[in-house]
Chain A
Amino acid sequence: GAVVSQHPSWVICKSGTSVKIECRSLDFQATTMFWYRQFPKQSLMLMATSNEGSKATYEQGVEKDKFLINHASLTLSTLTVTSAHPEDSSFYICSARQGRNQPQHFGDGTRLSIL
């Protein structure tokens, strides 16, 4: 149980393109989803917390107009990297949990490369 699917796994695109990443909880309803970014050999960095039906809460230093998050249902959250630039290249990972003290379950991650 507790499977989280993230799509796409890999994205390579030109600078200026907007990229949309989907995160789905396949066998449970996720009241909260999280979006992380991880640079090579570094820790996971929380970007934002997304609650179904409400606006995402962004961490300090994360531009909400740059990283658009939509959590329209209890099983789907999307992250759109708008007008991506090479410095946005990173490993983006989503996670989902059923309840407040429940563990997070992670998607496979999306490796984004902006040329």
Chain B
Amino acid sequence: RKEVEQDPGPFNVPEGATVAFNCTYSNSASQSFFWYRQDCRKEPKLLMSVYSSGNEDGRFTAQLNRASQYISLLIRDSKLSDSATYLCVVNMEENYGQNFVFGPGTRLSVLP
């Protein structure tokens, strides 16, 4: 089983739609979680950290479910500018040999 898994998509949604991405991770001792977005041919940019109680930033809501070992990202009222690849990032324990693990990314296309 891969350490961090995401549905690669692509998710093609119309403007204004609500879309949700899930990400699962294998190490139950993982400590911190993040969502990044990466535009084509650009570097990843931090979108938001994910806290145990869930957190919201404008149209974006992140949730963490430690029992089931998954995190989610919900985007409401999608904009054309939301089109990007969304990367789930899990900070795993040091003894796994790799601290920060990136998922393969989920591609989102918001259509006019």
A-B pairs with beta carbons under 8 Å apart, 21 shown = A6-B43, A34-B100, A43-B102, A43-B104, A43-B105, A46-B98, A46-B100, A49-B99, A59-B98, A93-B44, A100-B91, A101-B31, A101-B32, A101-B91, A103-B34, A104-B100, A105-B46, A107-B43, A108-B42, A108-B43, A109-B43
Cβ contacts A41-60/B at 8 Å (1 or 0 each)? 00110100100000000010
Residues in A lying within 8 Å of B, measured CB to CB: 6, 34, 43-44, 46, 49, 59, 91, 93, 100-101, 103-109, 111
What's the Cα separation between A31 and B34 when bound, in Å? 19
> Could you say which interface size class chain B belongs to?
20 to 34
Chain A hits for B102, CB < 8 A = 43-44, 46
For window 46-64 of chain B, which residues contact chain A by CB distance below 8 Å? 46, 49
B-side residues, CB < 8 A to A, are 31-32, 34, 41-46, 49, 87, 89, 91, 98-100, 102-105
Whole-angstrom CA separation of A102 from B41 in the bound complex: 25
Residues of B within 8 A of A106 (CB): 43-45
Residue of B with least CB distance to A102:
B32
3 closest Cβ contacts across the A-B interface? A106-B43, A101-B32, A43-B104
Q: Which residue of B lies closest to A45 (CB)?
A: B102
Q: Which residues of B contact A100 (CB under 8 A)?
A: 91, 99
Contact of B42 among A43, A101, A109 (CB under 8 A): A109
Q: How far is the CA of A49 from the CA of B91 in the complex (A)?
A: 14
